[in-house]
Each structure stands twice: as C-alpha cells, then as structure tokens.
Amino acid sequence: MEVADNREFAADVIAALSARPKSISPKYFYDAVGSDLFEAICVTPEYYPTRTETSLLRSIAAEIAAGIPDGGVLVEFGSGASDKTRLLLDAAPQIAAYVPIDISADALAKAVERLTADYPHLLLAPLAGDFTAELSLPTAVAQLPKIGFFPGSTIGNFLPEQAVEFLRSAYHLLGSDCMLIIGADVVKDEAILVAAYDDAQGVTAQFNKNLLARINRELGGDFDLDAFDHVARWNPAFNRMEMHLVSRVGQIVNAAGLPFTFKAGESLHTENSHKFTRESFEALANSAGWRLERQWLSGAPEFAVFCLKPIQPEES
C-alpha cells in the first residue's frame, strides 16, 4: 500500500473510532485478504447475489451486447475478479477496450493477468483507485463510446445521497452518449437476507473482522478479534442490510497511535447493503440524471439488472 493511502486509511480509522456511533466506509474491507474473503463469500450457499446475477447476466448477455457499439470501451466500477465481465466480453466481441477500476490493487492485478491471457486482442487499461474520487480515463480510450458496468449491487453499499453523487460522476466520466449496466439486489424476505450476510461457515464474519485485522497489520492496532461479534441485521426503515462489529466487553483498543474506548455492546458500523425495488431504483437513477432504458429481473431470490441512459436535455 502507498504511504499516501496509508495516511488516508489512518485518518479515516481515527475519525471512525472517534465518532458516535462508530462507523467506517466499507471500502476498507478490500485489501488482498479481504478481496479473497469476498470471493469466498460469493460461493457460500447463503450468498445468493453472485450466483443469481451471474445466471441472469448469462441469459441476457446477447441482449445487452446488441446495444454495445463497435469499438466500445467497457468501464467497470469495482471490478474485483472481473468474472461477470467475461459474460459481456464473450457476448460482445465488438468491445475494443476494457477499463477495470478497483481499490484493491491485488485483486485488479490478478484479474488483469488472467484477462490478458484469455482476451489477447482486448486493450486493457486498469485503474487502481477509489471510484468515488475524481477519475479520468486513459487517453487511449478517451474518444471511444463508453459502456459503464457496475455489477454486484455495490451501488447498494452507498447511502442514497452517495449513490446519486456516484451516478452523476459516472455520467461525467462516461459522456452523454453512453449506457450504464447496473446490478442491484432486490428487497426480499428478511430471513434470506440475514442468512446471506451471516453464513453458517462464518466466512462473512471473517470478512467483517478482517477490517480489524487490517488495522492491526497496517496501523499498528491491537484489536482482539475474539472480543468482537459479527452482527448482520435488516434495517427496515432504510431497506438495507447492515453489518456491525459489536464489542463483547468494555475495552480500550489502540490504533494509528491512539487509544479508543469501546463500551460493552458498542458497535462499529462497517457496511450498509441497500436493497431496491424497480420503483426505488428508477427514482434514484432519475434524480441523478439517468433514465431507465431496460430492466431484467431474475427468478427468486430476485436480483435486478438495469440499463440506464443519460436523460437528454430535451427529455427533462
């Protein structure tokens, strides 16, 4: 990790542990260990979103591909292992270039190595960084038509106002003649949701606690991982799953050179995963300057894929 990144991580951890209630951005889950743990979550029996979205994308890839222009550039936000990407690349050989964007440099490097071997004619231009920061595309692809791709329901990890900000900046990055394909998880029975975020093997608990392990590794922290419980709960007021790390005891923990107090039962809120309906997603997209061009819905457990296009001035 770069020194500058480490400084930002330290500052965000200090702010998170000083806040009441304590809360941190989920982007810090994804160091090399966290990215591998996320891949392990995706194959647990309870975590349906990956399987469901993958099979939906497989069945609609040709329809999506039909709307992709010749020589288009696929720009993916939070690309991870780039597995779902392959479904689009295979269905749309007219795609000339691929720009995977991910905060996990390790996950990005591994994905690019595999894609280079399997798609020798594709121009690959990876960007390691935060997709909420100001981004610019490599000059080699600047003039090509853009197709944004944001699978996984990672959009659900934003608060609604952050999602709107992200969608607005995606428009600026992709240009007025683009399309944006977004995967979004759908509101459903609470028991299915809670199980997906609290799998029986404890992989999601490990993923959540890796945040503490990462603070120990990178910021000289002394978190005792066994002194915290992984808690996954449905918050009906905001239609979201929440993940927390709840202190089992009253304790003082050191991190980034400072002491922080936890009361027994006090929580560090680590993630929100908002779930959508067609109506709530469309309203979100509209408020950020996008219109819903098409939508596809899987069978139960439901997961949706949306195709968005920028609202043109004459439409507003």
Are 25 and 158 contacting, i.e. CB atoms less than 8 angstroms apart?
A: no
Number of neighbouring beta carbons within 10 Å of residue 223: 23
Total interface residues for ligand AVI by CB under 6 A: 11
Please work out the total of residues on this chain that contact ligand SAH, with binding judged by CB under 6 A: 20
- In 141-289, at which residue ranges do the beta strands (DSSP E only) sit? 146-150, 179-185, 228-235, 240-247, 251-255, 258-262, 267-274
Of 137 and 205, which CB lies nearer to ligand AVI in the complex structure?
A: 205
Please give the residues from 273 up to 312 whose contact with ligand AVI meets the rule CB under 6 A: 273
Residue 132 binding ligand SAH, by CB under 6 A: yes
Contact partner at residue 79 from ligand AVI, ligand SAH, none, CB < 5 to 8 Å by partner kind: ligand SAH
Task: Name which of ligand AVI, ligand SAH, none residue 271 binds, using a CB cut-off of 5 to 8 Å depending on partner kind.
Answer: ligand AVI
Q: How far apart are CA 296 and CA 304, in angstroms?
A: 6
Handedness of CA 237, 243, 248, 253 (dihedral sign): negative
Pairing of strands 303-310, 179-185: antiparallel
Q: Which of 16, 87, 107, 212 binds ligand SAH (CB under 6 A)?
A: 107
Whichever of 76 and 271 has its CB closer to ligand AVI, that residue is 271
* C-alpha span between 94 and 99 (Å, rounded): 15
Choices 4-12, 127-135, 214-222, 302-310; region in contact with ligand SAH by CB under 6 A: 127-135
Q: Is 91 or 232 the residue whose CB approaches ligand AVI more closely?
A: 232
Select from 48, 98, 131, 228 the one that contacts ligand SAH (CB under 6 A).
131
Cα 139 from Cα 195, distance rounded (Å): 44
The phi and psi torsions of 302 (rounded to 5 degrees) equal: -70, 140
197 interacts with ligand AVI by CB under 6 A:
yes
Tokens of 313: 């001035």
Residues 221-240 that bind ligand AVI (CB under 6 A): none
How far apart (Å, rounded) are the C-alpha atoms in residues 45 and 48?
A: 7
Q: Which residues bind ligand SAH (CB under 6 A)?
A: 27, 30, 35, 38, 50, 78-80, 84, 101-104, 107, 130-132, 151-152, 154
Q: Which residues bind ligand AVI (CB under 6 A)?
A: 41, 49, 152-154, 156-157, 197, 204, 271, 273
